[in-house]
Amino acid sequence: MLQPARSRYKAFTRRAALLGGMQGLLMSVLAGRLYYLQVIRADDYRTMADDNRISMRLLPPKRGRILDRQAVELANNQQNFRILFVPEHAKGGIAETLDALSRLVEIDEYDRRRIEREIRRNRKFMPVTVLENLAWEEFSRVNVHLPDLPGIQPDVGESRSYPLGGAFAHLVGYVGVVSEKELTGEPLLELPGFRIGKSGVERARESVLRGTAGNSQIEVNALGRVIKQLNRIDGDPGEDVVLTIDAELQMMVMDRLGEESGSVVVMDVHTGDIISMVSTPGFDPNSFNLGIDHNEWKELLGDPRKPLINKPLRGQYPPGSTFKMIVALAALEAGVITEDFQTFCTGKVKLGNHTFHCWKKQGHGLQNLVSAIEHSCDVYFYEIARKTGINRIAAMAERFGLGEPTGIGVGGERSGLVPTKEWKLATIGEPWQGGETLNVGIGQGHLLTTPLQLAMMTAQLANGGKRVRPRLMYSPATEETADAESGDQPAADIEENKSLGLSEHALSLVLEGMRRVTNSTTGTAFRARIKDPTKAMAGKSGTAQVRRISKYERDTRVLKNKERLWKERDHALFVAFAPVEAPRYAIAVVVEHGGGGSSVAAPIARDVLTATQNRDPARTPPTGTVAVRRKEKEEG
């Protein structure tokens, strides 16, 4: 009887020991796991816990200003009074809150649909922008009624502002909300409502103006709702960009052009500084920042005067007779004529079966180089163009920088076109014809230039034949990135103040012809002269046809420009420099479908050059430059 009991006791003891061992093993594994989690992986899990508790949020930097040469603000930042809405706080319902708000400030149907769409897309505790850029009276009215507006949060931020409006719209440009195509993976660009440069200097200097983002540490709960701010590090504001432009002169030029569709470029002949660059008609860049109205946008697109086009850089026009100085220099440098070469102008010349006409139907009579420029005799330039040949004319034009971007560093610049025999064969697939050379000889045919190129050409004539390229910005920190950001390619092989290799005698003949254009009683633009001899200008008019005049019209009567439809009128051009005795400023004026260069464009050039010389901005040291402000910041 004792033996079985002893056996059962031994079996129980073994089972208990086995069970205890298994329990000990499990406790060891659990202890090891706890040690691994709480000791070895403690830092990792602490970080994960903090990530659930602390949210890092980007802070948009303050955008740099754009200034003129005297530190006048062309683009700045102003307070943006806006209204936000947190849907979860709307106790009476979203629709009721918006209805109550609309009785205080106007909320149109478009904004209402946008707000409702954003509310559906976001979490209920996330704020939605209702209205921006409110007037102080509207903002204060909302603040007074806040107890009756559950969920409404007044907020003060910053918005881009262009205090001088349309006069700088094309030059300075504007900012707008980041599009999907512009997203580069940079988190800052993904912030709701963040704006970047869309055109002009705003776009060309985007990386410099933007600055670097800051961040704030926000304590949030499990749902992401903000509890409190733990830490804040402000980013670096964007740098200011200083332009060579004189704001007061720019405004004057804008007023002088008035309702015309055209452009004016004023340039320092020695430094290349752009003193004024105006394109008309303009538009209000603030509209794009605030969100342009559909009807306003449609009106801008449908305007035949093309207000959205930056005409000094993107407008391409036949230069007309303003190109005759280039033809004259090409003929003189090639040795096919001398200053004594003369042609008798009867008003027309024949080449094969085609007749080429002079603008003066009865002709100019006997002409030499200087008088042909003074009187703008087409027949004389037909003859010397034929003798010189298209490729030698093209080579001279290219020496002055025509046919390629100037490298000014603002996006969208067009290159113009200087045709050659090879170009036509490669592009059109046809051989060059002799009559085409005659057309180029008076600035017509395939030849195209921009107003900026014409100003640069005139500056190089006026400064004694030295290479100079237009400069728009003083800021040294931005020059390295300008071309890459703007999308432009700089003009090749630019070496400032290097001689163009022109004969001094040849250049003097051309300049004398330009002087007579405005200062001789028989000059084509004598009526538009500057009467003060210390400020006198020398120039050249141009009238570029936009349609061919038929034989029937010539046999009967050619309609005057004012008798034609606006789109069929000639372009009016004028280039000039002043003062004649010591050139400092060059100007190019183009009035689209304006009519005659001498009657329309020359008076504008006269008034602008007079105002420029009276202000004389090139002789006043620019203020507010990046270097000066950096020094002030270091000392302060």
Sign of the dihedral defined by the CA atoms of residues 623, 625, 627, 630, in that order = positive
| Dist. CA 575–CA 591, nearest whole Å | 12
d(CA 336, CA 524) in angstroms, rounded, equals 26
Q: What is d(CA 58, CA 74) in angstroms, rounded to the nearest whole number?
A: 28
d(CA 263, CA 348): 32
Q: Which two tokens stand for residue 206?
A: 């985007």
Residue among 245, 269, 244 at smallest CA distance from 468: 269
Q: Which amino acid is at 613?
A: Q
Kindly tell me the sign of the dihedral angle through the C-alpha atoms of 384, 389, 394, 399.
Answer: negative
Indicate the pairing of strand 571-578 with strand 195-197.
unpaired
Burial class (CB in 10 A: 0-12, 13-18, 19+), 64: buried
Residues in the chain: 636
* Phi and psi at residue 269, to the nearest 5°: -70, -15
- Given its phi and psi angles, is residue 291 left (phi above 0), alpha (psi -120 to 50 degrees) or beta? left
- Is-contact 352 435, C-beta < 8 A? yes
Taking the alpha carbons at both ends of the chain, their separation in whole angstroms is 106
Phi-psi map region of 365: left, alpha, beta (phi>0 left; psi -120 to 50 alpha): left
Distances (CA, A) of 384 to 11, 86, 369: 127, 77, 10
Pick the catalytic residue from 159, 263, 276, 321: 321
Active site residue 321: yes
Task: Using the structure block, give the residue that is written with the tokens 């569709």.
Answer: 261
Would you please indicate which residues are annotated as catalytic (active-site) residues? 321
